[in-house]
């Protein structure tokens, strides 16, 4: 059986002291093993990245960008292969994997603009004969730690920008679906990146802890669940590192009585059940304003969910695939059980669906639960499965209060035809990414991505303009070249 290794200093390596099984969630079978890096292996990767830094730092940004142009072309040429890898280990259907990859490629395109993004700021004559400018210098060795649910896209949020800014990078991908992530990093190497600029160490907490504590690592980007994000942020900070740690979510959609209900239903279907609900921007709660709107919404959702197909990644006619592991399948089922036990109404039950020919896959069917209340544990937690819960509210204010009171603040959306209501909502909702009749308001690559509250620890969001700030240090230089023969007198006053 194949064991996936690491990419260190331009070479593929296997550190096989410890390994972990990688599964095909559509069949439930173990498909390969992944090496779990030891402390020594991670230290080797850090040393390689540190050695590569001085030359890469001094490589002109336009030359760095040229590597990204070639990388983009290689990603496009290899897209079918990458989508197959994502499907086999994550379970995404090809149309969904292709969407993820495309969103990742858009971040590479943004990174191709490095010379423009790194131009800095210049002010002539800030005083007589004095000019001042700010430039953005790379930090050194930086690290990224990524989740299972976007094995191609989330790493591409991080290292293209970090690298074009002049840093060298160590990626610690999810150990649950590592193949596409490792393959994509190999493509970047093939695009002409000098050895040691990108390194990938597969592994678990042991590898992560080295990246968090080694003083040669200057900054850490993390995307994953909130408890781990909090741990990463506090540990990285305690070790003097810059850190951005993006966490979990519970994304609510408000459905107003004046909404185009058929459109809202179509949008909710994709946003709640696409990728089996394993998206940090998945809509997992619909808050219907007024019982009439709730009754219509539930009836229409129930009818629209009937033809939905859950199944193996390899059949592109399926709407969505399995969840990532057997343990996660049982956890999602457990949340449906608990909602039912707490008095909610399971309108469409996706527990234990029959998927012909894939009896051992980790499948959960699309599930709709009505009459959910905020005190239920299924409402409080991020379920991360194909489960849409309906909460009934009397007014828009009540619906907004629910969202503002929730610990997470990643994404949200309102379905309405009322511009005034939509504007009030986007102005006052305590959430980082807001949609108006747009169910998955994932910002494009030239904006930045990030939630509020316990969905993000740190100050700067991921990718886009914030990534330039996160992966660089500002240096401001003030310069005077006195005319020959001119001497300044002594002054003890603060310069003004
Ligand atoms: P996870 O937190 O279990 O794992 C994320 C990464 O942390 C992995 O690389 C993993 O190996 C590592 N890790 C896990 N436990 C660790 C520990 N104890 N110490 C150190 N490192 C550890 O997350 P996941 O299950 O892979 O991904 C799903 C979660 O990610 C969901 O909560 C989802 O909302 C979140 N997510 C958030 C965003 C966002 O942008 N906010 C995007 C994608 C996913």
pLDDT digits (tens, 9 = 90+) for 35-58: 999 999 999 999 999 999 999 999
Phi, psi of 80 (to 5 degrees): -65, -40
pLDDT digits (tens, 9 = 90+) for 302-325: 999 999 999 999 999 999 999 999
Nearest to 170, CA basis, from 135, 136, 191, 139: 139
Question: Which residues lie closer than 8 Å to 453 by C-beta, 6 or more apart?
Answer: 406, 407, 408, 409, 430
Q: Which atom of ligand 1 is nearest to the CA of 324?
A: 25
Q: Which atom of ligand 1 is nearest to the CA of 145?
A: 9
The reported pLDDT for the residue numbered 121 is 96
- pLDDT band of residue 484 (cuts 50, 70, 90) is confident
Rg of the chain (C-alpha set): 25
- Topology, domain 3-247+455-477: Aldehyde Dehydrogenase; Chain A, domain 1 (3.40.605)
| β partners of residue 135 | 475
Give me the chain's average pLDDT, please.
Answer: 97
The reported pLDDT for the residue numbered 171 is 98
Q: If you take atom 24 of ligand 1, which residue's CA is the nearest one?
A: 147
Per-residue pLDDT for 489 more than 90? Answer: no
Instruction: Answer yes or no: are the C-beta atoms of 322 and 25 closer than 8 Å.
Output: yes
The reported pLDDT for the residue numbered 17 is 83
| β partners of residue 137 | 473
| Binding site membership of 196 for ligand 1 (Cβ less than 6 Å) | no
Catalytically active residues, by annotation: 280
Q: Is 352 left (phi over 0), alpha (psi -120 to 50) or beta?
A: left
Cα–Cα distances in angstroms (integers) from residue 141 to residues 56, 218, 285, 362, in the given order? 11, 6, 40, 38
- pLDDT band of residue 483 (cuts 50, 70, 90) is confident
What kind and span of H or E run contains 34?
A: strand 29-35
Nearest to 44, CA basis, from 20, 14, 18: 14
Instruction: Answer yes or no: are the C-beta atoms of 421 and 396 closer than 8 Å.
Output: yes
The reported pLDDT for the residue numbered 96 is 97
What kind and span of H or E run contains 470?
A: helix 464-470
Q: How remote is the C-alpha of 365 from its chain's centroid?
A: 24
Strand, coil or helix: 117: helix
The Cα 4–Cα 476 span in angstroms is 45
Paired sense of beta strands 472-480 and 217-223, if any:
unpaired
pLDDT digits (tens, 9 = 90+) for 409-426: 999 999 999 999 999 999
Neighbouring CB atoms inside 10 A of 482's CB total 9
The reported pLDDT for the residue numbered 360 is 97
Instruction: Answer yes or no: are the C-beta atoms of 168 and 216 closer than 8 Å.
Output: no
Q: In the chain, pLDDT over 70 holds for what percent of residues?
A: 100
Domain ranges of the chain: 3-247+455-477, 251-436
Per-residue pLDDT for 112 more than 90? Answer: yes
Cα–Cα distances in angstroms (integers) from residue 428 to residues 50, 89, 451, in the given order? 45, 40, 15
The reported pLDDT for the residue numbered 486 is 74
Average pLDDT of the segment spanning 319-338: 98
* DSSP summary character for residue 93: -
Instruction: Answer yes or no: are the C-beta atoms of 11 and 177 closer than 8 Å.
Output: no
Indicate the pTM of the whole model.
0.97
Q: How far is the centre of ligand 1, averaged over its atoms, from the C-alpha of 223 (Å)? A: 6
pLDDT digits (tens, 9 = 90+) for 63-102: 999 999 999 999 999 999 999 999 999 999 999 999 999 9
Average pLDDT of the segment spanning 432-454: 97
Per-residue pLDDT for 485 more than 80? Answer: no
Strand, coil or helix: 370: strand
Just give the CATH number of 251-436: 3.40.309.10
Pocket test residue of 225, 406, 412, 455 for ligand 1, highest count of atoms within 8 A of CB: 225
| Binding site membership of 189 for ligand 1 (Cβ less than 6 Å) | no
Average pLDDT of the segment spanning 254-260: 98
Instruction: Answer yes or no: are the C-beta atoms of 364 and 323 closer than 8 Å.
Output: yes
Tokens of 184: 């994509």
Neighbouring CB atoms inside 10 A of 131's CB total 15
């Amino acid at each position: 059986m194949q064991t996936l290794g690491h990419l260190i200093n331009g070479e593929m390596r296997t550190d096989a002291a410890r390994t972990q099984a990688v599964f095909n969630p559509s069949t439930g079978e173990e498909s390969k093993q992944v090496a779990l890096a030891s402390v020594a292996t991670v230290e080797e990767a850090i040393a390689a990245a540190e050695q590569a830094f001085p030359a890469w730092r001094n490589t002109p940004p336009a030359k760095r960008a040229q590597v990204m142009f070639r990388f983009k072309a290689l990603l496009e040429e290899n897209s079918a292969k990458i989508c197959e890898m994502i499907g086999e280990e994550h379970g995404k259907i090809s149309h969904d994997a292709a969407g993820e990859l495309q969103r990742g490629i858009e971040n590479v395109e943004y990174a191709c603009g490095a010379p423009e993004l790194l131009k800095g700021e210049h002010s002539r004559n800030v005083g007589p004969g004095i000019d001042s400018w700010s430039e953005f210098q790379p930090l050194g060795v930086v690290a990224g730690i990524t989740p299972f649910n976007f094995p191609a896209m989330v790493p591409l949020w991080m290292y293209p920008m970090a690298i074009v800014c002049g840093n060298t990078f160590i990626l610690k991908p999810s150990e649950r679906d590592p193949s596409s992530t490792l393959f994509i990093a190999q493509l970047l190497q093939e695009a002409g990146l000098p050895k040691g600029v990108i390194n990938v160490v597969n592994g678990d907490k042991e590898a992560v802890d080295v990246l968090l504590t080694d003083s040669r690592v200057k900054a850490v980007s993390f995307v994953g669940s909130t408890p781990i994000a909090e741990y990463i942020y506090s540990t990285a900070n305690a070790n003097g590192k810059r850190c951005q740690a993006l966490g979990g979510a519970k994304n609510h959609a408000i459905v107003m009585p004046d909404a185009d209900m058929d459109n809202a239903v179509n949008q909710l279907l994709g946003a709640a059940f696409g990728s089996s609900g394993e998206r940090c921007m998945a809509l997992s709660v619909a808050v219907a304003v007024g019982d009439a709107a709730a009754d219509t919404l539930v009836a229409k959702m129930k009818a629209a969910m009937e033809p939905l197909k859950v199944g193996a990644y390899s059949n592109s006619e399926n709407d969505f695939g399995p969840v990532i592991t057997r343990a996660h399948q049982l956890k999602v089922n457990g949340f449906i059980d608990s909602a039912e036990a707490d008095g909610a109404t399971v309108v469409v039950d996706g527990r234990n669906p029959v998927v012909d020919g894939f009896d051992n896959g980790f499948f959960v069917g699309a599930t709709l639960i009505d009459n959910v209340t905020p005190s239920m544990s299924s409402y409080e937690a991020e379920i991360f499965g194909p489960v849409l819960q309906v909460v009934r509210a009397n007014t828009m204010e009540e619906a907004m209060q629910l969202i503002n009171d929730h610990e997470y603040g990643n994404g949200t959306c309102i379905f309405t035809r009322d511009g005034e209501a939509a504007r009030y909502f986007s102005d006052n909702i305590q959430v980082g990414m807001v949609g108006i009749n747009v169910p998955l308001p994932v910002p494009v690559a030239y904006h930045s991505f990030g939630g509020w509250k316990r969905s993000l620890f740190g100050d700067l969001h991921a990718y886009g303009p914030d990534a330039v700030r996160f992966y660089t240090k500002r240096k401001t230089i003030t310069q005077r070249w006195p005319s020959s023969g001119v001497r300044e007198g002594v002054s003890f006053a603060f310069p003004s």
